[in-house]
Chains A and B, each alone.
Chain A
Amino acid sequence: MKISTLFYTIRQGFVNIFRNKWYSLASVATISACLFLFGLFYAVVMNFQNIVWKAEEGVSVTVFFHSEYDLCGSHTEAQLPTDERIAEIGRQIANRAEVSEVNFISDEQAWETWVNQNFKEDYEVLSKAYLDNPFKGDDSYEVFLSDVSMQSALVTWLESIPEVRKVNHSALTADTLSGANLLIAYVSMGIITILLAVSIFLISNTVAIGISVRSEEINIMKYIGATDFFVRSPFVLEGMLIGLAGAALPMALLYHLYSYALNYITESFTILNTFLDFLPADSVFDVLVPLSLAVGVGIGFLGSITTVRKHLHV
């Protein structure tokens, strides 16, 4: 094929969009509406999931060891861990797949943290009242999980260690968060699939209708002796450009809306920031934009190529 023919078909792709401006506008509007809804839902779901993930990250298990200061305890001499043994258990915990972070908290750190959290201004008074650290011997590990649904397995394992006196955890929190995460994943996957399927159906139909009304034009080209490539190329390019515009417009709009909404919420409802962690626009749109563009351009391409093919057998 000559370069001039290639340029001609490319030019025709652009020209066709303006020549059939109402069809082009209708197609862009349909694609935009579909992908806007899709993008909106995606952004909401991603934030929802992020909030749950953040909550999961905050869920911890605290591991306490037998100690000689534990007067009520029913431990044997062998169950009293040395510092080395505590360190070794710490390493074993950190090596487990479901564990994301392990922090050692000495009895002094525990006392200081407790006082700071509860009696910050009366530290002097409390220091005098308690000459000894009431948490003496309560060295512990604070264990954070990467997968909260594995909490019970971790707790069972921890409890089986002879030196471990107690494992503090909330099974209810873990189960609730794990269930919520699963529910969100299923529901969002279902809704996103439906939205995507509806989008694909609507977009490919719009492209198909736009081409079908020009089947006469395709017939004429074929009667004159145009090759399939010559006939198809402008339509395919047109479909892809319409898909691109239809995807880019809602993404630009959504990006600005999202950024504005994020600013508004974080500035106007500061209290929400303490327990809700919204995703920055970039981390939502880094995935959403390429996905939407691929859907728009891909459907434009496939929709036009299959529809034109139906009319090529003349």
Chain B
Amino acid sequence: MTKRELSWRKREQFIEEKGVIFLDNVTKVYSKGNPALNGITLKIGKGEFVFIVGDSGSGKSTLIRLLLRELTASNGSVYVMGSDLANLKHRQIPKFRRNLGVVFQDFRLLNDRNVYENVAFAQRIIETPANEIRRNVPTILATVGLAGKYKAKTNQLSGGEQQRVALARALVNKPAILLADEPTGNLDPKNSWEIMMLLEEINQSGTTVLVVTHNREIVNAMHKRVVTMKRGIIISDEEGGEYIDED
């Protein structure tokens, strides 16, 4: 067995035991004030669908930023796909992020490019051959229901459509994990549900989905695992749980 195969096998074994995302007693303290995360431990298995809920300041965004390796933990360890993120060098971060699909509340699309270019861009980054890009992008656009709009500029689209483009971009490289930070925050109820249904579909195809949200109706209706955070700690973690009203 080669060294590479051995390391791959060890990683698979780690993921099997600890999950695709594993936070081990993680604390994050910014330069001033209280810790944003205070010794949290969280294990998310392969193929799970998890909601992270909590009020503003509960630490949800810090958690996402740690998982993206935008921040590093002040204490404890963050493992994603078996990699200890603290050990990643700056030049290794881009390759690591290609394992993740990310969707934001404000879509974060390249507004001077059309729908096709926005999605194709994610493939260009990983140096996908041009003929594969031409094949993959229309397929993923059809999956998110935007097959007919590939030429449209993103600022000509509705909020729901823009979030679909963001989803297509996040999914085109077939990531193992999809992180969605308030994906329905800027959408009306109808569009919110459509996006959630898409996320469910994506999850059923084997992708681990982590959704940070404030949307009580959706969380309660979907009966997924719900992790509730408050002031930097996890106050509940329940399979098929509900949005806990703190008031």
Contacts and interface: CB of A to CB of B under 8 A. Distances in A.
Interface of A: 1-2, 4-5, 8, 19-20, 216-217, 219-228, 230, 314
Nearest to B113: A19
B125 A220 contact: no
A219 B96 CA distance: 16
Contacts of A223: 68, 97, 102, 108
Interface residues of B, number: 25
Contacts of B96: 225
Residue among A4, A217, A225, A314 with the highest chain B CB neighbour number at 10 A: A225
A229 to B, nearest CB: 9
Interface string B89-103: 011001111101010
Interface stretch (B126-134, B194-202, B218-226): B126-134
Contacts of A314: 70
Contact of A5 (B90, B109, B112, B124): B124
B121 A224 contact: yes
A147 to B, nearest CB: 57
Interface string B62-77: 0000001010000000
A219 B125 contact: no
Q: Which 10 A/B pairs are nearest by Cβ-Cβ distance?
A: A225-B97, A225-B98, A227-B94, A226-B125, A225-B94, A220-B108, A224-B122, A2-B127, A19-B112, A5-B127
A226 B122 CA distance: 8
Contacts of B147: none
Contacts, number: 52
A1 B125 CA distance: 11
A219 B108 contact: yes
Contact of A224 (B91, B97, B127): B97
A314 B90 CA distance: 10
Contact of B108 (A4, A5, A216, A227): A216
15 contacts: A2-B127, A5-B124, A8-B124, A19-B112, A220-B109, A223-B97, A224-B97, A224-B98, A224-B125, A224-B169, A225-B95, A225-B96, A225-B126, A226-B94, A230-B125
Contacts of B127: 1-2, 4-5
Contacts of B29: none
A5 B90 CA distance: 21
Contact of A228 (B91, B102, B112): B91
